[in-house]
A and B are shown apart, each in its own frame.
Chain A
Amino acid sequence: DQQVKQNSPSLSVQEGRISILNCDYTNSMFDYFLWYKKYPAEGPTFLISISSIKDKNEDGRFTVFLNKSAKHLSLHIVPSQPGDSAVYFCAASEMNRDDKIIFGKGTRLHILP
């Protein structure tokens, strides 16, 4: 039973355009959400997070939007750059549990020249 779903295994976006990566979750108790980026042969690295008390968090070119009623979050990258080509993992956790993070399966983003 997947609690965090990334339904698009891959996404291709033209350089300079906006990349939108989507994530859905089923557990309404999740209250903290994270995005990780992973390059080949490296471990995932933290990108951006959002608490359930917010609906938007922005950090430079990266913005995460949270829609609690739809149990949906998205990561926007504007403008997309070649170095953004990587696998992006959505993750979620529940504050009153033991802080375990549940990861989605990932979306591979290809930035096209």
Chain B
Amino acid sequence: DADVTQTPRNRITKTGKRIMLECSQTKGHDRMYWYRQDPGLGLQLIYYSFDVKDINKGEISDGYSVSRQAQAKFSLSLESAIPNQTALYFCATSEPIRDEQFFGPGTRLTVL
């Protein structure tokens, strides 16, 4: 079983709709992250959380919100989706030491 899972894997929605992307992990890591990948732009950090009570904005948080429901769950919401939020979204986890991040398989979101 995958250590970091994301649901849904693909989603098509319309402008103005509210969308929630969910991330769950079984690695027992305290730190969780949401990234966005656009073609040719690498991975951009949206929000990150170092524990259940800690939420921090990343590089491109406007238009997004997050909720850390438990150590294992970190969800990303688009309150009112717009077409330029069409992208690949990745969740990641890490331990609070200088170590690599473990990524989920990604969610492909299309906003029409």
Partner of B106, one of A6, A42, A49: A42
B48 within 8 A of A: yes
A29 to chain B, nearest CB (A): 14
Contact (Cβ within 8 A) A89 B42: yes
B103 touches A45 (CB 8 A): yes
**Number of residues in A with C-beta < 8 Å to the partner?**
25
Within 1-15 of B, Cβ neighbours of A (below 8 Å) are at: 4
Contacting chain B: which of A13-21, A54-62, A93-101? A93-101
Q: Is the CB of A89 within 8 A of B100?
A: no
Residues of chain B at interface, number, CB under 8 A:
25
Does A70 sit at the interface, judged by CB under 8 A?
A: no
Q: List 26 A-B contacts (CB under 8 A).
A: A9-B40, A34-B100, A36-B100, A36-B103, A41-B105, A41-B106, A43-B104, A43-B105, A43-B106, A44-B43, A46-B100, A49-B100, A89-B42, A89-B43, A93-B98, A95-B98, A98-B56, A99-B96, A99-B98, A100-B45, A100-B48, A100-B58, A103-B43, A104-B42, A105-B41, A105-B42
CA distance A45 to B43 in the complex (A): 13
Q: Which residues does B use to contact A, with CB under 8 Å?
A: 4, 31, 35, 40-45, 48, 50, 56, 58, 90, 92, 94, 96, 98, 100-106
How far, in Å, is B69 (CB) from chain A's closest CB? 21
- Min CB–CB distance A43 → chain B (angstroms): 3
A65 CB–B CB distance under 8 Å: no
Kindly report which residue of chain B lies nearest to residue A47, judged by CB atoms: B100
Interface residues of A in 86-113 (CB under 8 A from B): 89, 93, 95, 98-101, 103-106
Q: Are the C-beta atoms of B40 and A105 separated by less than 8 Å?
A: yes
**In the bound complex, do residue A46 and residue B101 qualify as a contact, i.e. CB atoms below 8 Å apart?**
yes
Q: Which residues on the B side are within 8 Å of A45 (C-beta)?
A: 103
> Cβ of A104: which chain B residues have Cβ within 8 Å of it?
42
A51 to B94, CA, bound (A): 17
Query: Which chain B residue shows the least CB distance to A51?
Result: B98
**What are the interface flags for A3-15 relative to B under an 8 Å C-beta threshold, 1 for contact and 0 otherwise?**
0101001000000
The residue in chain A whose Cβ has the minimal distance to the Cβ of B43 is A103
